[in-house]
Amino acid sequence: MTDACIAKFPPIAEMIYLKTFALSVLVSLNSHRRNKMEPAVAMGPLRYELESLEQARYVFKESDPRIAMHMFLRCFNSFNHYSMVAYPVGMHFDYFHRGKESLENKVLFCLNPNFARGFGRGGCLVGSSYVYGLLDW
């Protein structure tokens, strides 16, 4: 995802930012689970994602305050890959480049059905629009 998309499209910036919250929730959940002598969850993805988050936090602290948040999102985003999905995804095997596991994040967009006739996931709750999923991983 380009830096221009982060700056121009708020849903993209929010998608990136919300992934950092998901990391915090999972870290807290794992702390709670360890206290109850239960196994932690998503340890592989968390290891890689938390490294990315720490680097983004460093960039935030070192940046001009006027653009620090954009720099944070830009840095965290640089560790992800993106796919646009036009159809429901069924049983499949994910491939992580160089074995780097990731938390998959998704935002769905409803587009006018004339946008690309015959393509799209369907299932929009408002009207007959097509739904496209933007995934990061």
> What was the pLDDT predicted at 94?
67
DSSP structure string for 110-136: EE-TTSSTT-S----SSTT-EEEEEEE
Q: Indicate the number of domains in the chain.
A: 1
> What was the pLDDT predicted at 96?
67
Residue 24 CB-density burial (10 A; 0-12 exposed, 13-18 middle, 19+ buried): exposed
- The stretches in the chain having pLDDT less than 70 are 87-97, 112-124, 126-129
User: Domain containing 67: what range?
Assistant: 3-136
> What was the pLDDT predicted at 57?
98
